[in-house]
């Protein structure tokens, strides 16, 4: 029997254990949102007291609705750009590269802190066209490893809020300036999410701090030169929200009169470079 892998993470790096766990719980639902069998296998490989995260299965859609929405957008990008580069920033232990299984002409880079990448290496197999980059996203030098000759998809799920606005905008601008064309698929917390961070179990227990609030795509369009909006939605507006449990969906009408709460979790998609004809 293979021995389990131990983890010792803190701060922002630890938060990916919660997102992984919720995906694994979702995989056991009769009607899963994401059905991520890789997440389920991954948590079985890790020596961790998952109950200690203090989160239960009814909250799984908080994460799986988002991940499933970005899977759809990423699959659309890959269908339109079979010869491209994917940068999956703040990948944590997300198994997107295995779920989407991109074709042979896609170069896929999973990027996260060195301690997260070290854990990833022990959990998931390698595959052709797939590389791990162990670096903070805000260190400008990691991008030098990524060939800049093809359209790029920067997919940054669940990471923007851990960056300062200054670092986040600089990072997006570096991507836009380096590649000939591509997409930025990135989610944000609005001001309400940042202000109420101490009440969020995932954040409080990890000891991490959230910084960057984005309330609306116009803020990103004004801050990053050369991008255009393709789509923007929220947890409650995402097409994948319809797959959440009835109990979870029941929250939506209750938030009708509370727009800052309803719009806390923002999912954005931008393009840059020449528009496809």
Beta bridge partners of 112: 134
CA pair distance 69, 75, nearest whole angstrom: 10
Q: Closer to ligand SAM at the Cβ: 158 or 217?
A: 158
Q: Please, how many CA atoms are within 13 Å of residue 135, restricted to the half-sphere of its CB?
A: 19
Footprint of ligand SAM (CB under 6 A) = 12-13, 15-16, 19, 67, 90-92, 94, 112-113, 116, 136-138, 157-159, 162
From the CB of 156, what's the least distance to ligand SAM, in Å?
A: 8
Q: Closer to ligand SAM at the Cβ: 102 or 158?
A: 158
From the CB of 137, what's the least distance to ligand SAM, in Å?
A: 3
What are the helix (H) ranges across the chain? Answer: 15-27, 37-45, 61-80, 96-100, 114-123, 165-178, 191-195, 201-206, 217-223, 246-249, 251-254, 259-262
Going by C-alpha positions, the residue among 95, 122, 127, 82 that lies closest to residue 27 is: 95
From the CB of 157, what's the least distance to ligand SAM, in Å?
A: 4
SS3 category, 113: coil
Q: Closer to ligand SAM at the Cβ: 17 or 107?
A: 17
Q: Closer to ligand SAM at the Cβ: 206 or 263?
A: 206
Q: What are the strands of the beta sheet with 106-112, ordered from one edge? A: 130-134, 106-112, 84-89, 152-156, 182-189, 265-272, 227-234
From the CB of 274, what's the least distance to ligand SAM, in Å?
A: 29
Q: Please, how many CA atoms are within 13 Å of residue 209, restricted to the half-sphere of its CB?
A: 2
Q: Closer to ligand SAM at the Cβ: 137 or 172?
A: 137
From the CB of 277, what's the least distance to ligand SAM, in Å?
A: 33
């Amino acid at each position: 029997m293979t021995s389990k892998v131990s983890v010792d993470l803190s701060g922002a790096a630890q938060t990916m254990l919660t997102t992984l766990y919720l995906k694994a719980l979702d995989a056991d639902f009769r009607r899963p949102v994401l059905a991520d069998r890789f997440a389920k296998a991954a948590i079985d490989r890790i020596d961790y007291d998952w109950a200690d995260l203090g989160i239960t299965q009814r909250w799984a859609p908080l994460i799986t609705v988002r991940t499933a929405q970005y899977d759809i957008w990423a699959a659309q990008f890959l269908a339109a750009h079979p010869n491209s580069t994917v940068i999956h920033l703040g990948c944590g232990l997300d198994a997107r590269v295995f779920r989407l299984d991109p074709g042979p002409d896609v170069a896929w880079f999973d990027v996260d802190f060195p301690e997260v990448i070290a854990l990833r290496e022990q959990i998931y197999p390698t595959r052709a066209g797939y590389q791990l980059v162990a670096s903070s996203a805000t260190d400008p030098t990691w991008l030098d490893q990524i060939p800049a000759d093809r359209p790029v998809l920067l997919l940054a799920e669940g990471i923007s809020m851990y960056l300062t606005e200054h670092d986040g905008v600089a990072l997006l601008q570096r991507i836009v300036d380096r590649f000939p064309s591509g997409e930025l698929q990135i989610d944000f917390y609005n001001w309400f999410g940042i202000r109420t961070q101490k009440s969020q179990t995932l954040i409080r227990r990890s000891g991490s701090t959230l910084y960057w609030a984005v309330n609306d795509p116009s803020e990103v369009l004004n801050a990053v030169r050369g991008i255009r909006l393709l789509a923007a939605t929220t947890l409650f507006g995402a097409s994948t929200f319809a797959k959440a449990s009835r109990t979870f969906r029941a929250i939506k009408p209750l938030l009708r009169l509370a727009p800052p709460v309803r719009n806390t979790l923002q999912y954005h998609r931008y393009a840059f470079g020449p528009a496809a004809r």
